[in-house]
Structure 1
Amino acid sequence: VPLPPSQDLYSSRDLQGLTVEHDVETFREGETLVLTLKDKGVLEEAEDVLVNVTLVAQEQAKQNLELRQKKPQYVPYEEEDPATATQGPQPKVLLPKYSAPPQRPSFRLGPGGGAPAGGGPGGDPQAGTPPGPAPQSLQLPPLRLAPEYLTPEEMVTFRKTRRRVKRLRRKPLKADDLLPMAPGDTQGDFGSRWGWGGLRGAHGCWE
């Protein structure tokens, strides 16, 4: 079978720009490691990442060993972990067990498929390390007096839409409209106004 031309072969030039999800210091001089594409979801549109299966297993075993050596998750008096006390104030997590995993160190391959100088992408020695907590400023904004009236922008937020209620107009009734509503027989005897008391007054007292 004839081999394809040399320019069509897959070489280290095609590895330029790919991300390796390991610390650059884990690769020793003269050591040969096989990197494979990291598994990802079918619909995931993230870039391709190269990993080594052996290094991933070693990092996972090291992480499990550190978790076993740590104290239990329950801390009654909110004591700080001595391992993270030197890193400054850490954000408190409600359920650290279910939080997202920390960002792993990585670097990009330079020209020719080699690691860049300095240990991180672009030669920056700190570029391969995960970013720490963002610095926060303690300077408060300048105080200002509250105005007595709302501004037009604030009025828009407080403006409420009124619900329109449809009122039904009633047609005034006339005498001709009330005649059909009266009973049919209006000439009969409707009884005494005073009931039995009127009968007793007409015929005398009952014995």
Structure 2
Amino acid sequence: ERYSARDLQGLTVEHDPASIPEGQTLVLTLKDRGVLEPGEDVLEQAALAAQERAREEQELRRKKPPYVPYEEEEPGPAPQGPKVPSLLSKYDEPAPRPSFRLGPGGTQDGGDTPKVPLPGPTPQSLELPLPRLAPEYLTEQEMAVTFRKTKRRVKRLRKKEKPLRADDLLALAPGDTQGDFGSRWGWGGPRGSWGPEE
């Protein structure tokens, strides 16, 4: 089964149009990708793809300082918009490769090229909505909102107790409270005394 230029119409070629030599015929093959990877089929030329990979590897091999804490940006106009410094630039995702679509007849489609968004924050409008006067009365929607009333806590009052006195404790003591309660130095029984010697 042979393919013609009609079958290639609308496919994407993942090469910079400037890198393809003019007037030369190139053999394009489908780019390798995973079976479950989403996306459409992309064509590439094996030799050009190898050159681009070699160029990228050379850039990675160059001695670059891994971290420059006080890197200053060069002053001057930035045609692509302000450069947003990344925190860990060596972990950034690689930039997408330039590509183009094939038009009718297998030529480069010059129409409807998507605009590449400028890096940096998206521009925002500075126009504010016109101010409104606050209404004096609540609307029906505002009246419908009700708040749950909190229950008031009843404070419990503690009964004040009388101060404790020695006379109150004597009434609670069991037995005789007037007699001898023993020696402080020991019990001095028939087996001997363990208090101070006399």
With normalisation by structure 1, the TM-score equals 0.55
- Please state if 1:14 is matched with 2:7: yes
**Counterpart selection for 2:174 from 178, 184, 195:** 195
Deviation sequence 1:4-56 (CA, Å, 0-9, x none): xxxx6422211111000111122222323221111222212210011122112
- The answer for the alignment partner of 2:126 in structure 1 is 139
1:88-121 deviation line (CA, Å, top 9, x unaligned): 41122112211111111111111122222xxx4x
The change in CA–CA distance for 1:45 and 1:87 in structure 2 (over 3 A counts) is: closer
| Partner residue, 1:114 | 107
Residues 18 and 50, structure 1, Cα contact 8 Å, conserved in 2: yes
When residues 38 and 22 of structure 1 are mapped into structure 2, their CA distance, relative to the original with a 3 A threshold, is same
Q: Over residues 144-192 of structure 1, what are the superposed CA-to-partner deviations in whole Å (9 max), with x where a residue is unaligned?
A: 69x8xxx979xx9xx9xxxxxxxxxxxxxxxxxxxxxxxxxxxxxxxx9
**C-alpha contact 2:6 2:105 (8 A) present in aligned 1:** yes
Give yes or no for the alignment of 1:37 onto 2:30.
yes
CA contact (8 A) 1:19 1:48 kept: yes
Shift, 1:140, TM fit = 6.3
| Higher relative helix content | 1
**Unpaired segments ≥5 residues, structure 2:** 148-170, 181-198
Percent of counterpart pairs with the same letter? 54
Is the 1:21–1:51 Cα contact (8 Å) retained in structure 2?
Answer: yes
SS at match of 2:25: coil
- Aligned match for 2:43, one of 41, 45, 50: 50
CA shift at 1:129, angstroms?
A: 7.7
- SS where residue 196 of structure 1 aligns? coil
Q: Unpaired segments of 5 or more residues in structure 1?
A: 1-7, 160-191
CA contact under 8 A between 2:80 and 2:119: conserved in structure 1?
Answer: no
Indicate the structure (1 or 2) with the bigger Cα radius of gyration. 2
Cα pair 2:14 2:98 within 8 Å, conserved = yes
- Cα distance, 1:193 vs. partner? 6.4
Mapped partners of 1:130, 1:143: distance in 2 = 34
